[in-house]
Amino acid sequence: KLLAYDPFPSEQALELGAEYVDLKTLYAQSDVITLHCPLTPENHHLLNADAFAMMKNGVMVINTSRGALIDSTAAIDALKQQKIGALGMDVYENERDLFFEDKSNDVIQDDVFRRLSACHNVLFTGHQAFLTEEALTSISQTTLQNISQLDRGEACPNQLNA
């Protein structure tokens, strides 16, 4: 059963068998919760202590979207209480000084990150979730299409003017 929550339901998701529900229902009934959304003021810390309290014991949570969708301190408490059984994070709220260069010889100063990374059931992938054949093919095709459009003097939907 595929449960989904989105303020803008997708016809394509329905065709794939998704059933749209409210967040309380999604939290209460899901074995796995994955986040696929932009960060907005309305969903900052979408997964917080209140949300974790509504979830099944042992839920798997995966965030490949934006770090601030998860209240990391609340996630630590949920891990300690075994509310979260596994946590996968491709992103982290305070990742700026952590993910974009080799820190293997540095002492990590972020205590929340250190506590999370010390858990055997937490996996950080540091913005590597895109590293699939499909994603890289799509990125390459879009880039080549953009170059071709600009070369022909055509409008390019991805062009940014500074």
What residue type is assigned to position 19 of the chain?
A: E
The tens digit of pLDDT for each residue in 49-96 reads 999 999 999 999 999 999 999 999 999 999 999 999 999 999 888 777
- Which residues are catalytically annotated? 66, 95, 127
> How is residue 35 written in tokens?
């986040």
Rounded Cα–Cα distance for residues 46 and 49 (Å): 10
User: What's the pLDDT at 107?
Assistant: 74
The whole-model pTM stands at 0.79
User: What's the pLDDT at 108?
Assistant: 75
User: What's the pLDDT at 52?
Assistant: 98
What residue type is assigned to position 57 of the chain?
A: N
Is the domain covering 31-130 a CATH 3.40.50.720 domain?
yes
Q: Which residue has the higher pLDDT, 136 or 24?
A: 24
**Contact at 8 Å (CB) between 33 and 55?**
yes
Rounded Cα–Cα distance for residues 5 and 152 (Å): 42
